[in-house]
Structure 1
């Protein structure tokens, strides 16, 4: 069975600096000549983009509900066979949610390094560290790293408050050279963060003299049985929009399409590129079309190409931001309304508060497709939903799925490896 040094980067809450620390640690070990594979807990899109930049490798999602324990096991064993270090970034606080970060760390025996912001705190830091370490007996605590440490004296007080059986891994100072900016859906995308590579490099340098920089002990990862995938998309050419407006793409989804036999090509509506020649099906993923609405509305080449594709009855799958792009119009938070492609009857308005958040699943005759929703817009349409996803927490109706001509659109972001058969049907246009 493959074994590899591995560490789970958890925290006491959101906003403690997990992504900053994970990215800095990944780069630090790369600088030391190691191959690093990084994973992100939960259905996040933004953190993995930054972690991929730091590790120079795709960042896969791990989630016991959405991805499933067996697929998580397979991904970890695959990484362990080729990497020198595995890092897993948690989500929210260590014990937040069901399933949560602690559940994932416990399931695979990965030790936890907890990041705790020490801002406006002294000896109470030790009480929080103690609570994280002792809350569950099945969690193996590697140690605790303090973030936002103001001075050497501050670090001394933090250490003095620590229980003797919990390792002090060190501390990071508050610094504008380290901090990563945020907005309503989380962190900014890598291309939007000023001097991102320098921020990650500065974090790596700051971590170099801490105990967190030491290579952790190897963890044995039991391989999951290999899954044989039928070539359900053999010889199909699938175009995927990918740019700053459409960037919420799971690497595992693209990998599945290729495993099913599809030829995947990317294009940019924001750069006014046409669909690749010979496109059989189109995927418009989520992202931030509202931030680029004017540019998208003015890009006639992409618009004409997508409308021609739809007019020919070729399949289009659109999720969240990709769905907004297909609507008649989109109104941003400033009240500015911009015409969109007009391929899906309806209008969307960006709101100042979260409209939907949580895991959902779509139950169909081809089985269950797991996914999640996370959006700040609301949509009005006269279209009758072809189906509804169901919320994971209580089974209540979740996001509607619309079918209009060759278009299938929804706010739900699907994790396609959870149902390869349904995924193939979506791109063949036969799912609904």
Structure 2
């Protein structure tokens, strides 16, 4: 047997992250080893998970990855955990398209044959809460919604009304509720949160949340719901099996400024025979020696623009090797680092590498969010023309 549970919501903002973090903390305080997962491409929530559980959280994405890859990641990460909690994204059925489950939390729950704990905001309703849960049960017959947590209840009596309706009409248990104002306010979502989380600045928030969840949620019922058959192993070699022979050395930027990497991408490189050599654009003075490629991922160059700009030795080393033809993949923050300059939200401008004829100015509002498909206009190290 194995314990795994998807924590899903009826929509964004119903309290999935708050409840997931709190459950992780509460279960860990019980002495359980907790493995976190996040549905979809997200860096913030996995950082919360990692800080609370002490284990690296993993992303599971049914649109970017095939079924075997999703299972491979889950099996590898959960191997020695007592329980795995998989935090959903948006509403349970929201994904790539309104016409299918692709890219949704529902898809991940079915791929992993995992029970689902549905979080419902019951503000201003009673029996209607049962209709909502019933609809989520019936839209896709292959999902297993096994329990409910009620959030934003006006009182214990209000929660009881909703619980009675749900348990009678839907045949599944309500394992607890939170009143309005019960849980501490979660910090506003922003990528700038991640350094604060990693510095331990949210430890008090995590402790308070864990205590509240232990008080208001039936943890024994959670563990019972999560207990299910062990997931069947995949039929192809795991991506986490390293190649017997290392064929190339790839320098990977990894420090405070650049740390947005999906571990699976690095594992795939190692599986294909790459030796990964990590370095710091902030603290080191040059690229590692004898490398065949360069990978600069995303992160927070805007938070460390002054430090990056002042490390002239590293900038010179990178510039000379890239100009000499070193195969380079720079994405997100790494791409910003290769431009001419970076202007922070405070209006301070710092010189970057100057290899891309562009200047970056940080904004204060989200520009876009969602999956994107691209067509390459030329052959490159990662894409073929067309």
Pairwise TM-score range, normalised by the shorter structure: 0.7 to 0.9
Equivalent residue, structure 1, for 2:63: 65
Equivalent residue, structure 2, for 1:294: 306
Mapping of residues 321-332 of structure 1, within 5 Å? 321-332=333-344
Q: Indicate yes or no: 2:45 matched with 1:38.
A: no
Q: Indicate yes or no: 2:218 matched with 1:211.
A: yes
Q: Indicate yes or no: 2:146 matched with 1:142.
A: yes
Distance 1:221 1:330, change over 3 A: same
TM-score (norm 2): 0.82
Q: Which moved more, 1:227-236 or 1:120-129?
A: 227-236
Mapping of residues 337-416 of structure 1, within 5 Å? 337-361=349-373, 386=378
Question: 1:144–1:166: 8 Å Cα contact kept in structure 2?
Answer: yes
TM-score (norm 1): 0.74
Aligned length: 369
Query: Per-residue deviation at 1:325?
Result: 1.0
Question: 1:59–1:251: 8 Å Cα contact kept in structure 2?
Answer: no
Distance in structure 1 (CA, Å) of the matches to 2:368 and 2:302: 17
Equivalent in 224, 235, 248 of residue 225 of structure 1: 235
CA shift digits 1:39-65 (9 cap, x unpaired): 211111221122122222222221222
Q: Indicate yes or no: 2:167 matched with 1:169.
A: no
Distance 1:183 1:340, change over 3 A: farther
Question: 2:117–2:145: 8 Å Cα contact kept in structure 1?
Answer: yes
RMSD of aligned Cα (Å) = 3.2
* Structure 1 unaligned blocks of 5 or more: 365-384, 388-402, 404-424
Distance 1:50 1:115, change over 3 A: same
Distance 1:149 1:301, change over 3 A: farther
Equivalent in 163, 166, 183 of residue 159 of structure 1: 163
CA shift digits 1:13-56 (9 cap, x unpaired): 12222223223323333333333322211111221122122222
Higher percent of residues as strand: 1
CA shift digits 1:277-332 (9 cap, x unpaired): 44442211112323333332223343233224324432221001110110012334
Q: Could you say what secondary structure the match of 1:358 adopts? A: coil
Distance in structure 2 (CA, Å) of the matches to 1:303 and 1:177: 46
Question: 2:71–2:111: 8 Å Cα contact kept in structure 1?
Answer: no
Query: Per-residue deviation at 1:92?
Result: 0.7
Query: Per-residue deviation at 1:231?
Result: 4.3
Query: Per-residue deviation at 1:333?
Result: 4.4
Q: Could you say what secondary structure the match of 1:131 adopts? A: helix
Distance 1:339 1:161, change over 3 A: farther
Query: Per-residue deviation at 1:117?
Result: 3.4
Q: Indicate yes or no: 2:318 matched with 1:318.
A: no
